Amino acid sequence: MMSFKRLLLSLLILPATIASFAQLDVVKVHIIDGISDPVLRQTMENNATVFLSSLNSTIITGKSRMKLEDANYTKSGKECVKELWASSAMICPVSSITEICSSLGEGRGYQIRNIPVEMLAADEDQMEQELVINFSATGLIDNVMVALENHRYIDIISANISVTDLIRRQTIIEFVENFRTSYNRKDIDYIESVFSDQALIITGNVVKVKETSDNMLQTMYSEKIQYSTSSKEEYIKKLKRCFSRNSYINLKFEELEVVRHPVKDHIYGVTLKQHWNSSTYSDVGYLFLMIDFTDPEYPCIQVRTWQPDKYSDGKKIDRDEVFDLSDFNI
């Protein structure tokens, strides 16, 4: 089957055929459960329909900017969509979406998940992704995030052992999805805000180590991972340079694991496999985040580590070498 990306490219090459594909513009959203107020449900359905349909119509008509009306978005939601679009244009390859919505908590609004899109700036094997749409309490689109894998979402939520743990796991999922999407949007302000001022940042890189040999004519090398640390300020400066030299950045998270500290129950460890794809550089590695819920309204990252998933010769890093909560004195 022809990918939607190639289809759209063909439409741009042959404008006369656009009319025959006009039905691709409209994506109807139906919410079937999770909200009892029919007026609010219809408002959310309409706003999601407008948003997703605008993705397609903007591409098909060859425009560079989406038309975003205040009637459909909160101020922050509008900025979020602008930044996400600036990083990568997107399309929604289906004409109808039927989903349930979930409450984000008293007065915090609602959320729908499992929205299929194709990120047109991403590599071919990374294009197919899903979005999460958050709505305000009045039904306006308040945030749009690139989603985690759905089965991981279910596994993490299902592992709760108390109401507080459940709420924190829901918060962690939203936190991680926001964190991931902030890199796609190149939102340096958000990233800076979620790191503790005293955050420890550790980065591992593969280096070759010269070994001694009895044979003077033979030079032997082995590989190891060398670690360096940086402060929050140093990390943010480096990230700003990265954002400025890349026209797009696309992150994908896999193998997400969430672990609560056995004693300090406000500390959680999040481990995941990160695929980084940008216009100048790509890599795959393990990301570990230590998230502190001392202030439950504003959880923050106390530790961030990154390690490559394999050595230069293709040997994969052992899973027990990946950082986790047990590696840090808390």
For residue 235, give the CATH number of its domain: 3.10.450.50
Domain that holds residue 121: 4-146
- Domain membership of residue 176 (yes or no) is no
pLDDT at 18: 43
- Domain membership of residue 115 (yes or no) is yes
What's the pLDDT band for 17 if we cut at 50, 70, 90? very low
Question: Distance between CA atoms of 196 and 236, rounded to whole angstroms?
Answer: 12
Together in a domain, 210 and 98: no
Together in a domain, 299 and 238: yes
Task: Pick 223 or 232 by higher pLDDT.
Answer: 232
Cα separations in angstroms, 32 against 29, 123, 226, 273: 10, 34, 52, 33
Question: Distance between CA atoms of 285 and 299, rounded to whole angstroms?
Answer: 24
pLDDT at 211: 59
Q: 3-state secondary structure string, the chain?
A: CCCHHHHHHHHHHCHHHHHHHHHHCCCEEEEEECCCCHHHHHHHHHHHHHHHHHHHHHHHCCCCCCCCCCCCECHHHHHHHHHHHHHCCEECCCCEEEEECEECCCCCCEEEEEEEEEECCCCHHHCEEEEEEEECCCCCEEEEEECCCHHHHHHHHHCCCCHHHHHHHHHHHHHHHHHHHHHHCCCHHHHHHHEEEEEEEEEEEEEEEEECCCCCCCCEEEEEEEEEEECHHHHHHHHHHHHHHCCCEEEEEEEEEEEECCCCCCEEEEEEEEEEEECCCEEEEEEEEEEECCCCCCCEEEEEEEEECECCCCCECCHHHCCCHHHCCC
Total tally of structural domains belonging to the chain: 2
Together in a domain, 276 and 221: yes
Q: Which of 116, 146, 176 represents a domain boundary (last residue)?
A: 146
Together in a domain, 112 and 192: no
Q: Which of 122-126, 169-173, 210-214, 311-315 has the lowest mean pLDDT?
A: 210-214
- Domain membership of residue 173 (yes or no) is no
Together in a domain, 260 and 128: no
pLDDT at 209: 63
- What lies within 8 Å, CB to CB, of 322 at 6+ separation is 271, 286, 288, 307
- Domain membership of residue 134 (yes or no) is yes
Together in a domain, 44 and 119: yes
* Statement: residue 62 has pLDDT above 70: yes
Together in a domain, 120 and 239: no
Q: Which of 72-81, 126-135, 220-229, 270-279 has the lowest mean pLDDT?
A: 220-229
Together in a domain, 10 and 141: yes
Together in a domain, 122 and 203: no
- Domain membership of residue 178 (yes or no) is no
- Domain membership of residue 167 (yes or no) is no
Q: Which of 146, 170, 205 represents a domain boundary (last residue)?
A: 146
pLDDT mean across residues, the chain: 84
Q: Which of 81, 115, 146 represents a domain boundary (last residue)?
A: 146
What's the pLDDT band for 22 if we cut at 50, 70, 90? very low
Together in a domain, 299 and 192: yes
Task: Pick 75 or 126 by higher pLDDT.
Answer: 75
Question: Distance between CA atoms of 310 and 125, rounded to whole angstroms?
Answer: 20
- Domain membership of residue 179 (yes or no) is no
* Statement: residue 126 has pLDDT above 80: no
Together in a domain, 139 and 195: no
- Domain membership of residue 162 (yes or no) is no
pLDDT at 210: 59
Together in a domain, 204 and 142: no
pLDDT at 253: 86
pLDDT at 212: 56
